[in-house]
Structure 1
């Protein structure tokens, strides 16, 4: 099918705005990596009116999809890990156009996975983990076991992704295959939740206890990025934190993570008077004896 697609991607490659073009072929019939398509044309552009633009094609009994993605959108996906297929396309796809070795340099960066980039991704993933764990526990204590089950499954996924990133790898679409090799303890928890013959209530009770230990053991590395940002000022109000260029990606999970760290005695709060009687602004700072997170 590439012969038929060549004029399409060559037209894109001839445009000065195009940074690179990758072809990703379907590996096997069951593979989810190409979203049911036989071929993916992944086009990276410097700038675009729309961050993501897609076209679908068909030829004989085959189908192809072209994804045109802006550089900014690609960077956001890679930072947040919100589109894992793209990471695999970048690392495993066949490069058919590469302006000034843009894709080659991007691949080197992805494989090296600089520690600072990992630290931000770990922070974001840890915040998501805390959110799911705390919401799930609240549902469990209210005896809404199916809702609690949903949240604990998601929290285990975040825990799995966190473990993969912590070990210097990018989470793949088949993240549980990675975790089975890297952190078998987490994989066993997932198996127990899904396959155990215990009652749902008992399974959840055991999982929350085990998860609490695993979360505690990862608090130091999981919170290190947020603590580094907090430590650049004496104190912060929440809006300033939420607007910080590196914390904006924590989104709705930031407030929950801050409350978790207050509970763990890592972050302290300070009340400053407002014009309203008995109402105070709440400010946040790192506890001076907790900057190294000796938890």
Structure 2
């Protein structure tokens, strides 16, 4: 199959936007890494107009898939951790073409930093945790305990993912099985919420008290990634922050996280005159040590 695919990857390698061409063969017939295909042709391109392009081939007996992935999409997957097989493809793939050693340098970084983008992952999980905590606390104070319970579960879920990343471990789908080994105290908190015979109000109160403690202790560490980007300029509009590729991954949680960091005196607001003399533009900058 590799010989039959040669003209395909040779054609792709001749294109100026192609960064790397890798071939991944299956280890067994039902190999999940190759989605049961016999071969995967994995091509990384600097052309970001189309994030993902896929084609399937067959010689009548065997089958192959070609995936052309933009550099931006690849970076997104590596940072967010939503496509774990991509790491397997990079590590296990046989490199046929590698402009400026792009794939080799990426492999080297992955070997040195197994949890790619650890800082942004912690920031994203903390932002989601703070939002879930705040919304859950509002429902709790209104005595809407069942709605509050759902947010409490989400709060602990993001706490568990944060703790895994903090320990340099990629969060699994079965994060609570992980947490039982990584941080038994966080697992016990989850166990108390879902399994205790205490009244739901007491269970929720415990979770929100503990969550507030964790948020307070971990905020500075979780904010490192966002604040590092903000140090690149004196001040930022919210639109400028959204347009940063890595900050865009925070999605709707970015503004909520920024407002929280304003409350914690890590970010400050500056007022810039607008066309309307009664209104000011709101910009943000980090509070530097004085």
The normalised TM-score by structure 2 is: 0.75
Question: Could you tell me which residue of structure 2 aligns to residue 209 of structure 1?
Answer: 209
Q: Distance in 1 between matches of 2:199 and 2:205?
A: 10
Give how far 1:218 is off. 0.7
Q: How does 1:37-186 map to 2 (within 5 A)?
A: 38=36, 41=40, 43-46=42-45, 50-54=50-54, 67-87=67-87, 90=90, 94-100=92-98, 105-113=105-113, 117-186=117-186
CA-based RMSD: 3.9
Q: Distance in 2 between matches of 1:65 and 1:191?
A: 43
The 8 Å contact of residues 84 and 173 in structure 1, kept in 2 or not, is answered as: no
Give how far 1:75 is off. 1.4
The 8 Å contact of residues 125 and 161 in structure 1, kept in 2 or not, is answered as: yes
Q: 1:226 to 1:50 in 2, by over 3 A?
A: closer
Secondary structure at the counterpart of residue 99 of structure 1: strand
Q: 1:189 to 1:276 in 2, by over 3 A?
A: same
Q: Distance in 2 between matches of 1:65 and 1:192?
A: 47
Give how far 1:269 is off. 2.0
The 8 Å contact of residues 196 and 203 in structure 1, kept in 2 or not, is answered as: yes
Give how far 1:213 is off. 0.8
Q: Distance in 2 between matches of 1:98 and 1:114?
A: 24
Q: 1:246 to 1:103 in 2, by over 3 A?
A: closer
Provide the aligned length of Structure 1 versus Structure 2: 279
The 8 Å contact of residues 24 and 89 in structure 1, kept in 2 or not, is answered as: no
Residue 22 of structure 2, aligned match among 16, 20, 25: 20
Where in structure 2 are there 5+ consecutive unaligned residues? none
Secondary structure at the counterpart of residue 74 of structure 2: helix
Question: Could you tell me which residue of structure 2 aligns to residue 271 of structure 1?
Answer: 271
Where in structure 1 are there 5+ consecutive unaligned residues? none
The 8 Å contact of residues 44 and 71 in structure 1, kept in 2 or not, is answered as: no
Secondary structure at the counterpart of residue 247 of structure 1: helix
